[in-house]
């Protein structure tokens, strides 16, 4: 069965420090991988996506993620965070199921950037 | 291009009532998905519509239903509301619902059941 595990529910970090938000998934078929960000009282916005090709993908706001097929991971990183990066981050996996594509979201990681 | 629009933004209902939520996708997008977001369960997939047909469904009771109109606008209905239905309901659209297309989300409807 398809599943997504975000290993940290909360990550506190100081401003200008690096951060890594971890995501592991399980699926028996090829997958597409996404990271989304949600600010308070808003919907989700796409940060970046992995479809195929280079395993290192760059997204908006200085974020990047690396797809590791052998470890079934898709960790999100940023070398230097800002206060404005405080938000909830969701890892999502899409694969083909009977009837169509289905997307499963992780439980989310709340990033809290401190001054 | 206008984003995904969900109405209303906030809704308060009592147990046993029914509610209809509306979603207008980005122009040209034909796939609309609905999600329920709660602190305990996270984001859970409700259903996906494409060209007025329900193409995929999550594990929710039959009290949760939806439909899509010819202009791709979608509505979600919940009947016989329960306290546990209190949540943020998010709608997302994409051009065709292909797996390699990211979803574009609205800001959600926050439903509170008293």
DSSP letter string over B3-32?
A: --EEE-SEEEE-TT--EEEEEEPPTT--EE
Give residue ranges of A with CB < 8 Å to any B CB. 32, 34, 36, 41-46, 49, 51, 90, 94-97, 99-108
Mutate to test the interface with B, among A103, A108, A109 (most CBs of B within 10 A): A103
Calculate how close chain B gets to A41, using CA atoms only, in Å.
7
- Residue from the list B42, B97, B108 with its beta carbon closest to the beta carbon of A43: B108
Closest residue in B to A34 (Cα–Cα):
B102
Q: Which tens digits make up the pLDDT trace of B31-45? A: 999 999 998 888 999
d(CA A78, CA A16): 10
**Which has more pLDDT, B69 or A54?**
B69
Q: Which tens digits make up the pLDDT trace of B79-94? A: 999 999 999 999 999 9
Cβ distance B56 to A99 less than 8 Å, yes or no, reads yes
Closest residue in A to B102 (Cα–Cα):
A46
Element (H, E) at A57: strand A56-58
Number of cross-chain residue pairs from A and B with Cβ atoms under 8 Å apart: 56
Q: Is the dihedral of CA A16, A17, A18, A24 positive or negative?
A: negative
Contact between B23 and B16 (Cβ < 8 Å): no
Burial bucket for residue B28 (CB in 10 Å: 0-12, 13-18, 19+): exposed
- pLDDT of residue A97 exceeding 80: no
Q: Which tens digits make up the pLDDT trace of A57-85? A: 999 999 999 999 899 999 999 999 999 99
Contacts of B94 (CB under 8 A, 6+ apart): B29, B31, B33, B101, B102, B103, B104
Cβ distance B107 to A41 less than 8 Å, yes or no, reads yes
- pLDDT of residue A88 exceeding 90: yes
Q: Which residues of B touch A47 (CB under 8 A)?
A: none
Cβ distance B92 to A95 less than 8 Å, yes or no, reads no
Does the CB of B10 have a partner CB in chain A at under 8 Å? no
d(CA A15, CA A21): 15
Contacts of B61 (CB under 8 A, 6+ apart): none
């Amino acid at each position: 069965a398809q599943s997504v595990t975000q290993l940290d529910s909360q990550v506190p970090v100081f401003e200008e420090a690096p951060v890594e938000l971890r995501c592991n998934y399980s699926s028996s078929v090829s997958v597409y991988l996404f990271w989304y960000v949600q600010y308070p009282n808003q919907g989700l916005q796409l940060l970046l996506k992995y479809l195929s090709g280079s395993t290192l993908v760059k997204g908006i706001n200085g974020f990047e993620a690396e797809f590791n097929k052998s470890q079934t991971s898709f960790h999100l990183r940023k070398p230097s965070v800002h206060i404005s990066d405080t938000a909830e981050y969701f890892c999502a996996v899409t694969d083909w199921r009977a009837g169509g594509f289905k997307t499963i979201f992780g439980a989310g990681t709340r990033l809290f950037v401190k001054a | 291009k206008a984003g995904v629009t969900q109405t209303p933004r906030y809704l308060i209902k009592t147990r046993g009532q029914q509610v209809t939520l509306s979603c207008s996708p980005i122009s040209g997008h034909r796939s609309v998905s609905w999600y329920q977001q709660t602190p305990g369960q996270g984001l859970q997939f409700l259903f996906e519509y494409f060209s007025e047909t329900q193409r995929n469904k999550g594990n929710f009771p039959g009290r949760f239903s939806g439909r899509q109109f010819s202009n791709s606008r979608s509505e979600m209905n919940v009947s016989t509301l329960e306290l546990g239905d209190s949540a943020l309901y998010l709608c997302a659209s994409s051009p065709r619902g292909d797996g390699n297309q990211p979803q574009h989300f609205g800001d959600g409807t926050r439903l509170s059941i008293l």
